[in-house]
Structure 1
C-alpha cells in the first residue's frame, strides 16, 4: 500500500512539474484569464438566470474581446511604438537637452552633456537583438486567444472546478468558505481599491502630457498608470520631470499648466478618491500593495501588478485559517 502511494505521488509530482512547464510560457495570459473571470463573474451569474451557461459565457467572451482585449492590445501596441521611437531618438542623439543643460550650468556652473551620455548608454543596444518583433507578435496573438479560450471555460465550468477542489482538498467546509471569502475580498480590494484608482490617476496625468505636447505621451501614460499604484509619489515621478523639461525648454506656460493640473486634479484624486475607495471597499494595508506590486512585477511580470498583492494577502488569510481550524484553541 505504501509503495503504491509513493508511486502515485511520484507520478503526480512529475505530471505537476510538466503542467507547470506548459503553463509558464503563457503565464501572463493565464493570469489575465483568471483576472477577467473575477471581473465578469457577477455578470455571468446574472446571465445564467435567463440563459444557459454556455450561451452566457460566449456572450461575455465576445464582450470582453471588444471592451477589454482589443483596447488593451491597442494601448500596448501604441506604448511599444512610443518606446521604440524614444529608444531610436536617444540612440541617434536626436533628443535635445540643451535647455536643461543650460539651466544646470546657470545654477551650478557645471557643464553637463546629458544627450551624449544618454546616447552612449543606449547606443550599444540593438532593438533586433533584444526581441524578435515577429516572435513577440505571434506570442501575443496566441496568448490572447488562449486568454479568451480559458475565460470561456473558467466561467462555464467554475462550479464543477470548485466542487472538485472541495472534494479533493482535505479541509473542513468552514476553512473552504473562509478562504473563498478572503480571496474574493482581496481580489476586489486590489482591483477596485488600487488598480481602479491608479488607472484614473494615470489617465488624468496622461491627458496633461498630451495637452502640453510631451513626446511619446502614450508610453509615459502607461508608465504613470503603473506608478500610480504607489501611494503619494505615484504619477509625479513622470509628470514632475516632464514639467521641469518643459520649463527648461522655455515653454513656461505649459510647464505651469502641467504643475497645476498634476498638483490639483491628479493630487486631489489621490487625496480623496483613494481614501474613499480603499477605506470603504478595500481594507488592505498599503504595505501589502506596494510590496506585492513591486515583487510581483519582478517575479511574474506585468500580471504581478494584480496578483502580487493577492498572494501576500492570501498568505495572511491562510495563516489565520490555519490557526483557527488547527491551532491550540481550535478544539475549544
Structure 2
C-alpha cells in the first residue's frame, strides 16, 4: 500500500467517524425516517410517474401525518384516559382484588397484596416511561428538531432513494449478481421484520380487544394497545394479556365468560400468529429464531424503540454479508486457480 492510498484511507476513516458523531444525536429519528421511507417507497414508485417525485414525496408525508400521526395521538389520549380509569378502579377496590387475594391464600398458601403490587409496578412503569422519553427526546425543543430531521430524511429518501441505492451499488466492489442477491435478501428481511411483525401484532391486538368487548371487560382500547405492544416482543405475545384476563373472570365467579375468553384466546388470538405470519410476511427472510430474539432485545438496548426492528435487520444483514463474502471469496479462489493452471504466453 503506497503512502497516498494510506493517507486517503486515514482521511476517509476520520471523516466517517465525524459523520457518525454528527448523526448520533438524532439517530433515532434518522432510523425511523428510513423505516417510513421503506414502507412508503412502493406507493411512491406508483405515484411519482404521475405527479413527479417531489410532489409525490411531499404528498405522502402530509398523508402520513394526517392518516397515521393524528389518529395515533387521538388513540393515545383514549388509552391514557382508560389507563387512569383502570388505576382508579384498582385504588377504589372495584376490581374484586380481595377475591383474588383470598383465592391465592387458600389454594397456594401465599399472602399477596395485589393492590400494592400493581401500585409499585405502575409507579416503576411511570418512572421508566418518563426516563426513557427524556432520554430519547431530550425535551420538547430537541424533539421538534428531531421531527424536522425525520421529515427531511423521509422526503429525500423518497425523492432520491433510487439514486442513493444506485450510488451504493456503484461504489461497492462486488459483482452485480452478488449485489442483487444481497439487496434481495435485505428486502425480504426488512419486510419480514417490519411489515410482517407489525401487522401480526395489530391483528392480535384487535382480536384481543374484540374478545374483551364480547365478554364485557371494560377499557378494551387500553388492553388492545397493550396487546399490540407486547405482541411485537418474542416469547411474550398476546397471551400475557388475555390469559390473566380469563383467570380474573374465573376468580370473580364469571366462569362462562372466563372459559369463553380462554378458548377464544387460545384458538383464535394465539393461533392466528401461525397462520398470519407466513401469509403477511410473504417473502420471509428465514432468520434463525435465536438471532431474531437476540436482535430484538439487543436492538432495543442499542437503538431504543427503533431497535425493535433494526436489531434483527442488523444481524440478518451480517449473515447475508458473510454469505456474500464466502461466495465472492470462492469465486476469486477459482479464478486464481484457473489463472495459475492456464498456459502462459
Structure 1 residues 65-113: Cα deviation after superposition (integer angstroms, max 9, x where no partner): 22233334444555566667767987x7878631210111221343322
Which whole-Å deviations, capped at 9, do the CAs of 1:208-261 have from their partners, x for residues lacking one?
A: 345556566545433322332457862101211122223323444443342233
Structure 1 counterpart of 2:340: none
| TM-score, with length taken from structure 1 | 0.81
Q: 1:293 to 1:135 in 2, by over 3 A?
A: closer
Counterpart-to-counterpart distance in 1, 2:170 and 2:46: 26
CA gap of 1:290–1:132, structure 2 versus 1, over 3 A, is closer
Q: Residue 281 of structure 1 corresponds to which residue in structure 2?
A: 283
Matched with 1:223 is: 226
Residues 78-89 of structure 1: matches in 2 within 5 Å? Answer: 78-79=78-79
In structure 2, the partner of 1:111 is: 111
Residues 157 and 276 (structure 1), Cα distance of their counterparts in 2 relative to 1, 3 Å cut:
closer
What are the residue-to-residue correspondences of 1:1-332 with 2, within 5 Å?
4-76=4-76, 78-79=78-79, 97-119=97-119, 127=127, 130=131, 136-209=139-212, 212=215, 217-229=220-232, 234-278=237-281, 280-285=282-287, 287=289, 288-327=291-330, 331=334
Query: Which residue in 1 is equivalent to 2:343?
Result: none
Contact 2:238 2:270 in 1 (8 A): no
After superposition, the Cα gap between the structure-2 partners of 1:126 and 1:298, relative to the gap in structure 1 and judged at 3 Å, is: closer
Q: Deviations over 1:179-218 (max 9, x none)?
A: 2111112112223433322221122113334555656654
CA contact (8 A) 1:65 1:148 kept: no
Mapped to 2, the partners of 1:253 and 1:72 lie a distance apart of 35
Per mean C-alpha deviation after superposition, the further-off stretch among 133-142 and 283-292 is: 133-142
**Aligned in 2, Cα 1:137/1:259: closer, same or farther, shift over 3 Å?**
farther
Provide the C-alpha distance between the structure 2 equivalents of 1:89 and 1:17, rounded to a whole number of angstroms: 53
2:305 alignment partner, SS class = coil
**Structure 2 residue matching 1:101: 3-state secondary structure:** helix
Q: 2:270 is paired with a residue of what secondary structure?
A: helix
CA pair 51-99 structure 1, distance change in 2 beyond 3 A: same
Please say which of residues 147-156 and 242-251 is displaced more in the overlay: 242-251
Q: Match of 1:111, SS?
A: coil
Identify the range of structure 1 (2-11 vs 164-173) with the bigger mean alpha-carbon deviation: 2-11
In the alignment, the residues of structure 2 paired with residue 164 and residue 58 of structure 1 have an alpha-carbon distance, to the nearest angstrom, of 23
Is the contact made by 2:199 and 2:280 (CA closer than 8 Å) also made in structure 1?
A: no
Using the size of structure 2 for normalisation, the TM-score is: 0.79
Give the C-alpha shift of residue 153 in structure 1: 0.5
Conservation of the 8 A alpha-carbon contact between 2:287 and 2:316? no
Partners of 1:34 and 1:151 within 8 A in 2: yes
Flag the structure with larger Rg: 2
Q: CA deviation at 1:276?
A: 3.6
RMSD: 3.6
Q: 1:42 to 1:261 in 2, by over 3 A?
A: same
**CA offsets 1:122-177 (integer angstroms, 9 cap, x no match):** 66898597466995555444433432221110011113222322333333323322
Supply the distance in 1 between the matched residues of 2:36 and 2:322 (Cα, whole angstroms). Answer: 27
Change (3 A) 1:258 1:137: farther
Between 1:172-181 and 1:78-87, the stretch displaced more is 78-87
Task: Tell me whether 163-172 or 68-77 shows the greater mean CA deviation.
Answer: 68-77
Q: Distance in 1 between matches of 2:94 and 2:328?
A: 62
User: How many Å separate the matches in 2 of 1:136 and 1:83?
Assistant: 24
